[in-house]
Chains A and B, each alone.
Chain A
C-alpha cells in the first residue's frame, strides 16, 4: 500500500509536469510563497508574476485574491477550485478548462490574508485600469486608493485619456492628483495638487497631505539643508522621559544610578554587618541607602551618581528636531498651510457631525421616554416595566422577521404590530396592577418592578439569553454622508423621522382630540376632571395603551441598530426616567427638551473625553442629579396634581 502510494507520488508530478503550461510553470517556481503567502515576502513574487505578461495571469491573480485557488497536495499544482460537497472541482489555471476533481482532504485551499490580497489588488491595477468592465476599473481604483505605488502613476495617467465613463474619469483624475502629490517629480504639479486639496475635507485628501508631512526625529544638530519641521522642546512638545529615551538611543546617555543598581552595589559591598561603615540594619530608608552609596562612590568603589541637573543640561545641550522626510520646503510649507485650512473646516464638520449624533441619540431617548412621560403625567405612577415594553416591541419585530422573510415587508408589519402588542401588554398591566394601586405611587413603582423582573426572565426563558438578530431592510443599510466627516446611518435618520412623527401625532392628539382634552384635564386636576364627567379610568387606560404602544415601536427601532436581548429595556429605563424628570412630567415638549438635553450632554461629555464612554454616562448622571436640585420640577414645569 505504502509503496503504491510512493509510486503514485512519483508518477503524478512527472505526468503533470509534462503537460504544464506557462502559467503553472511560473507559479511552480514560487510555489511555496504562493501557497503560504506573507505580506512581507510576496511583493517580489507578485512583481514576477505580473511582469510575465501572460494574459491568463490576471485571472489567476483575481481568483487567488478571491480564495478561489486550491493546491493539490499530491503534486503541488495550482488549480481554480470550487468546493462541491466533499470534493473540489478543478479547472486549469491556463485556460479554465475542466481538470477533474479532487477529494477535499487531498487539496488545500489557498487563503491569502487581507494584507496579501491588498498587494494582489495593487498588482492587478495595471491590468484592470483599462478593462472594459467598469466594475473592474472601479476595483482597480479602490486598490489604488488603498495602496498606491509610484510606478502606477504612469499607467493611471495614460488611462485617463481613454476613460469614457464620467464618474470613473473624475475619480481617476482625483487619484492622479493625490498620487502626484505623494510621488510626483514636478514641483509645480505637486503644488497644484496641494492647492486643489486645500478646499476639500475628504479623508484621503488629508491622508495625502499628511503623507507629505511625515517627519523623522533627529537628535543633535540636523544635517545641513535638512527641511526642518520644528524643534521639539522637552516638556512641551515631547515628554522629558521620552526625550531622555531618544537621547539614550542616539548614544547621549546620562550615567544614572537606578535604585536597583544602588541596591546591588550595596549588597555587593556588605562586609559582615556593615556597608561603607554603616550598619546594614540602619539602611531601612531610601536616604540612608543613598548616603551609603555616596560613601562608596567617594571611596571610588562604585561609579558616582550623576549631578541632579545632568539630565536637564544634556537636554538643553542636545537639540531634538523633527525633520520632514520631504526635502522640498516649498512643498511642505504649502502642504502644512493647506492642512491648517482643511483642519479648520474639518473641525466645523466634526461639530456638525457630533450634533447629528446628539440629535439621533435624543430622538432615541425621546421615543423611549415619551410613553413614560405621558403615563406619569396622567396617572402619576412610575412604570418600571416600561423598558420591558420596549423589549416586547423588539421581540415582536424579531418574531415577525422569522415568519416573514422579506425585511421590508416584515418591518411594515412589525411596526404596527409592535405597537398593538405592547399596547395590549400595557392595558393588561394597567387593569391588573396599576389600577389597584392608584394613589400609591411608591408601591406602583415596586410592583411594576416585579413585573419587569418577571417579564425579563420569561423572555429569557423563551428566546434565550443570546441576542437575537433583527435586521434592517437593505434600503435602510448604509449611511447618508455629506462628506467624509459628516455622516449618519439611514436607520438613525429613520428613527429621527419616526420620533418626529410621534411627536406630531401626540401633539395632535393632545391639542385637537377629545381624548387629548380629557388627558390634559386629568393631568392638571383629576378631581375637577372627574366631577366634570370625565372618566379618569378610561383616560388612564387610553394613555397607558398609547404610551406602551410607542415604547413597543421604539423597541423595533432600537433593535434595528443595536442588540435585541431580554435586558435591552433596562438599559434604557434609567435614561428614560432622567429624560422625563429633567424635561418635566406630563409634558410632551418637556420630554422633547429633556431628551435633547440628555442626548446633547452625553455626546458633549463623550467629545471631551473620547476614550471613556462609561465615564461619560457617570458624569451625565451626576450632572442630572445636580440639575434636579435647581429645577426640581424639570425644565417645563407643569402645574398639576403632583405639585406639592
Chain B
C-alpha cells in the first residue's frame, strides 16, 4: 500500500518511469486511445465502449492478478499529432500497462515513435495495409493477405471475374492495398488494361461518371467486378448511384473492405442486396460465443447497436493480453510480450486465433452478401489465415519477414540475412 502511494506520488510528478520492475501496482491500468470527437469519433467511440465493456467483464471475473482493472480514456480528437501527445501522457504520466487504440494507419504511425521510445504496448484493431511490424504493437486487425487477397481470390475463382475496377478513397490504405492487389492480379494473369483504378476524395458525392466507367468496362464481354476501398460516408453516394444505374450484384459484384454493419445503417440496403464485403467477422456469424457477445453488447449499449470487425479484434486482443499477463504474472511489457507469442483464443466466428511471432493473428476470412436488413449473409468462410506483415506480392517486401521471438527483428531481409531495422522507421 505504501509502495503504491509512493508510486502514485511519483507518477503525479511525472518523473518516474511507468514500469520500473516486474511487480504489479494496483490497479492495472488499461489505456484507451480512441478519438471521441472529430471525424473518426463515430467509428472509434464504439471501440472505446468495447474496451470498457471488456474491462468490466474482466473485473466481474475478479480482475487481473488480484487487481482491479481501470480503463484510462483519453480523446485524441481525430487529430493525428495528438495521438502521439496522448500516448505519451498515457504511458509517461498515467503509467498505463497497455494501450488499446488507434484506427487509421496515420494515427498509428504517429503513435509508434512514442511507444518505441517509452517501451509501451499497443493493440491495433483495424484492418490495414501491412508493411509494418513494430516490437511494441500487436496487430489484431487484418493484414492485406487476411482480407484483400482472399476477397480477390473469391472474385477470381467463385465469381469468375476477369476485369477489375479498384475504387478507393485517396489515402494510404486504399492506395497501398490496391498496389498489392494490382501486383497480385497481374501474377494471376490479369492484364494491366483489365484493371481500372480510381481514387476519390473523402466524402465524395458525385459518382455518376465513375459508375458509368465501371459499367462500360463490361463491353468486352468478360465479367467485371469492383473492389472497393471507399471509406466512410462516401459509400452512401456510391451505392445510391449503383442502385440508380440498376447495377445488380449479378451483373457487377462489388466487394468492399471498409463497409461493415455500422456503415450500412446510413443506407437503404434494399437495392444493394447481394453486394459483398470481406471481413474477419460479421455480426451474423452463428456461433454461441458470438451470440453471447452480441447480446452483451446490445444489453449494454441498446438494441439497435451493431457489432463489427474491429470490435472482435479488440475482444480477441484484450482477452489474449489478459491471458498473457496472467501467464507472465506481471504487467511488465517485455514479459507480457514474451507471453503473448503463441497465445490462443477462440474467434467469435469459430476457430482459434493464434498470436504469431510477427505480432499478427491467424484469422478466418469471411465474405458476406448484404441483406435487406443491413446485415451480411456469410457465403464463404476460409480456414484461419496467418497474417503477413510484409506482403509477398510486392518485390521489395517479398524478401522481408518479421519474427520477434526468433530473430529479434521486425524487418528481416531474408536475402541478405540481415535485420534491416529493429526500431521502426515509421
A, B assembled together: yes
Chain A residues within CB distance 8 Å of chain B: 38-40, 67, 111-118, 142, 146, 203-204, 206-208, 210-211, 260, 346, 350, 353-354, 357, 360-361, 364, 464-469, 471, 477-479, 484-485, 487-492, 558, 561-565, 567-568, 571, 603, 606-607, 610-614, 617
Q: With A357-B209, A613-B200 as known contacts, state yes or no: A466 contacts B268, CB within 8 Å.
A: no
Choice from B157, B221, B236, B253 contacting A114 with Cβ under 8 Å? B253
Q: With A208-B221, A563-B237 as known contacts, state yes or no: A360 contacts B369, CB within 8 Å.
A: no
CB–CB A353/B39 < 8 A: no
The smallest beta-carbon distance between B151 and chain A, in angstroms, is 12
**B244 near A: Cβ within 8 Å?**
yes
CB–CB A260/B266 < 8 A: no
CB–CB A118/B266 < 8 A: no
CB–CB A610/B198 < 8 A: yes
Cα distance, A38 to B234, chains bound together (Å): 33
The smallest beta-carbon distance between A346 and chain B, in angstroms, is 8
> Which residues of the other chain, B, contact A350 by a CB distance below 8 angstroms?
216
Cα distance, A490 to B39, chains bound together (Å): 31
> Which residues of the other chain, B, contact A112 by a CB distance below 8 angstroms?
379
CB–CB A489/B208 < 8 A: yes
CB–CB A489/B244 < 8 A: yes
Cα distance, A466 to B39, chains bound together (Å): 9
User: What are 14 inter-chain pairs, A to B, with CB distance below 8 A?
Assistant: A39-B160, A115-B158, A116-B158, A207-B221, A210-B219, A353-B212, A357-B208, A466-B262, A479-B246, A563-B233, A563-B234, A563-B235, A571-B203, A610-B210
Choice from A260, A360, A468 contacting B208 with Cβ under 8 Å? A360
The smallest beta-carbon distance between B108 and chain A, in angstroms, is 21
Cα distance, A307 to B200, chains bound together (Å): 46
The smallest beta-carbon distance between A17 and chain B, in angstroms, is 28
> Which residues of the other chain, B, contact A466 by a CB distance below 8 angstroms?
42, 233, 262-263, 265-266
The smallest beta-carbon distance between B200 and chain A, in angstroms, is 4
Those 4 A-B pairs whose CB atoms lie nearest each other, nearest first: A207-B221, A562-B205, A489-B244, A563-B236
Residues of B within 8 A of A (CB-CB), count: 62
Choice from A118, A260, A492 contacting B415 with Cβ under 8 Å? A260
Choice from B241, B245, B268 contacting A471 with Cβ under 8 Å? B268
Which secondary structure characterizes the binding site on chain A?
helix
The smallest beta-carbon distance between B34 and chain A, in angstroms, is 13
The smallest beta-carbon distance between A560 and chain B, in angstroms, is 8
CB–CB A115/B159 < 8 A: yes
> Which residues of the other chain, A, contact B233 by a CB distance below 8 angstroms?
466-467, 563, 565
Cα distance, A361 to B209, chains bound together (Å): 10
Cα distance, A268 to B251, chains bound together (Å): 57
CB–CB A465/B274 < 8 A: no
> Which residues of the other chain, B, contact A488 by a CB distance below 8 angstroms?
208
CB–CB A563/B205 < 8 A: yes
**B109 near A: Cβ within 8 Å?**
no
**B377 near A: Cβ within 8 Å?**
yes
Which residue, of B234, B236, B268, has the highest number of chain A Cβ atoms within 10 A? B236
Which residue, of B220, B222, B234, has the highest number of chain A Cβ atoms within 10 A? B220
Which B-chain residue is minimally distant from A364 (CB atoms)?
Answer: B206
**B197 near A: Cβ within 8 Å?**
yes
CB–CB B220/A114 < 8 A: no
The smallest beta-carbon distance between B183 and chain A, in angstroms, is 14
Within 8 A of A (CB), among B197-230: 197-201, 203-210, 212-213, 215-216, 218-222
CB–CB B158/A114 < 8 A: yes
CB–CB B369/A114 < 8 A: yes
> Which residues of the other chain, B, contact A612 by a CB distance below 8 angstroms?
170, 198-199
Choice from B160, B201, B219, B220 contacting A115 with Cβ under 8 Å? B160
CB–CB B216/A485 < 8 A: yes
Cα distance, A563 to B234, chains bound together (Å): 7
Cα distance, A612 to B174, chains bound together (Å): 13
Within 8 A of A (CB), among B269-320: 271, 274
> Which residues of the other chain, B, contact A38 by a CB distance below 8 angstroms?
157-158
Which residue, of B41, B198, B210, B240, has the highest number of chain A Cβ atoms within 10 A? B240
